[in-house]
Structure 1
Amino acid sequence: MTVPNLPAVRQNRPAWNKGRLIGQKRPLHPKHVWAIRVRLEIAKAVQNLALFNLAIDSKLRGCDLVRLKVTDVYAAGQVKERTSILQSKTQKPVRFEITDGTRKTIADWLDDPLMIGSEYLWPGRFHDRLDISTRQYARLVRDWVSSIGLEPSAYGTHSMRRMKVAEIYRKTGNLRAVQLLLGHTKMDSTVRYLGVELEDALAISESVEM
């Protein structure tokens, strides 16, 4: 007697993304940035404040931000005003500014005893890792946004990368400038990254009253 081929019965499992907000993460707004800064300053969290400020200024991917070395931002006894690094994803250089406030917080962090002899700007806590991991950085971002009452699942490390360029685009509409600042090789990537068409459409819709 031939046994028919029956479909395999699998145990029902909840979807991996059940209850999660997936897709592109929202950029932080200026009011969020200042709220987080104030909390970090009050807590005297020197490393976190320097990391938070440089994440916004540099607009780097998390994988590049955590791998920064002291020499990338510091030379001749002072923090650089501008610097350039090679992006790990594209192997293309990207240049960014380091603003006055960020330079001060980095200088304060470099004076910390924990930084004595450290090659990396954000040294790891374990002997087998010289720098913090992207997962550690993601946890910090989650803690930062949670501390000011934001929904952590709506934000991530790319919220830090997008924050400044989203403001630049909103104020100037200059996509080419945003492309250069993000280190994108193609304009299409910048358009998708910013969600330009959707943001423009929403802005137009909001301006029309019925």
Structure 2
Amino acid sequence: MGYSNYDSAGLGRAAWNAGKTVGTKRPLTQKQIWAIRFFLDREGRLRDRTLFDLAIDSKLRGCDLVKIKIGDVVAGADIRNRATVVQQKTNRPVQFELTSDVRATLISWLERRGGSHADFLFPSRIDRNHHMSTRQYARLVDEWVTAIGLRKAEYGTHSLRRTKAAMIYRATGNIRAIQILLGHTKIENTVRYLGVDVEDALLLAEQTEI
């Protein structure tokens, strides 16, 4: 709901986005990824390290990441190589890979966390039967990026979602593959999400010899 120019209660009220960077958040670089991992390992924050690594690998939105259950990433006594979740936004399944480093981190976290396949992987601090909130996840991301000297206004939960996708795009130029990995219904959304522009297209064309 907005405020009328004639409403005295709205006079002098700062805009909701005053002082904030609105728009696409930056993806992390490889150097920044390792800096955050080093910080979390040094502080002994195993849960946060697991959450960070899974966010990068899964490329999920925050609302889907925090709802992952143990059974989504565990098959029997082993960590899955691939996992599938149904996205809240599209109500469609999306599959993602679990690399060896992430599987190792998950094993360490699950040994400490315990629980059954039906439990949330990252429980709430308030109610262990519920999952971590997206607000808490966002606060953690702000803390991580600030710890390595980045401006939190320029980074957020979507930075983690975009990071691996952006790296794959730069390496391959394959928009369709990125669309599948991000679970976008339209390729136009993927183009917008990655910030692909004319310069990107021309660079790809220049690198392709016929």
**Normalization by structure 2: what TM-score?**
0.88
* 1:208 equivalent in structure 2: none
* 1:181 equivalent in structure 2: 181
> Is 2:115 the counterpart of 1:116?
yes
Structure 2 CA distance, aligned partners of 1:35 and 1:46? 15
* 1:61 equivalent in structure 2: 61
Cα 1:12/1:38, change in 2 over 3 Å? same
Structure 1 CA distance, aligned partners of 2:30 and 2:11? 47
* 2:125 equivalent in structure 1: 125
- Residue 203 of structure 1 deviates from its aligned partner by 6.9
Structure 2 CA distance, aligned partners of 1:32 and 1:179? 24
Structure 2 CA distance, aligned partners of 1:160 and 1:143? 14
* 2:35 equivalent in structure 1: 35
> Is 2:149 the counterpart of 1:149?
yes
What does 1:134-145 align with in structure 2 at a 5 Å threshold? Answer: 134-145=134-145
* 2:74 equivalent in structure 1: 74
Structure 1 CA distance, aligned partners of 2:37 and 2:30? 11
* 2:48 equivalent in structure 1: 48
Structure 2 CA distance, aligned partners of 1:64 and 1:27? 19
- Residue 160 of structure 1 deviates from its aligned partner by 0.3
Q: Name the stretch that deviates more: 65-74 or 80-89.
A: 80-89
SS in 1 for 2:57: helix
* 1:105 equivalent in structure 2: 105
* 2:18 equivalent in structure 1: 18
Counterpart of 2:31, as a letter, is K
SS in 2 for 1:90: coil
Where structure 2 has 5 or more consecutive residues not aligned to the other structure, the ranges are 1-5, 205-210
* CA deviation string 1:60-80 (max 9, x = no partner): 000000000000001120111
Structure 1 CA distance, aligned partners of 2:58 and 2:100? 13
* CA deviation string 1:110-149 (max 9, x = no partner): 001x433570000111128611000000001001100100
* 1:191 equivalent in structure 2: 191
Q: Max radius of gyration: which structure?
A: 1
What does 1:85-96 align with in structure 2 at a 5 Å threshold? Answer: 85-96=85-96
Cα 1:34/1:12, change in 2 over 3 Å? same
Structure 1 CA distance, aligned partners of 2:18 and 2:119? 41
* CA deviation string 1:89-111 (max 9, x = no partner): 10111010000000000110000
Structure 2 CA distance, aligned partners of 1:202 and 1:18? 35
Counterpart of 1:200, as a letter, is D
Where structure 1 has 5 or more consecutive residues not aligned to the other structure, the ranges are 1-6, 205-210
- Identity over the aligned pairs, expressed in percent? 51
Cα 1:19/1:198, change in 2 over 3 Å? farther
* 1:207 equivalent in structure 2: none
CA contact 2:166–2:194 (8 Å) conserved in 1: yes
Q: Name the stretch that deviates more: 45-54 or 119-128.
A: 119-128
**For the aligned residues, what is the CA RMSD?**
2.0
* CA deviation string 1:20-67 (max 9, x = no partner): 111111111111000000111111111000100000000000000000
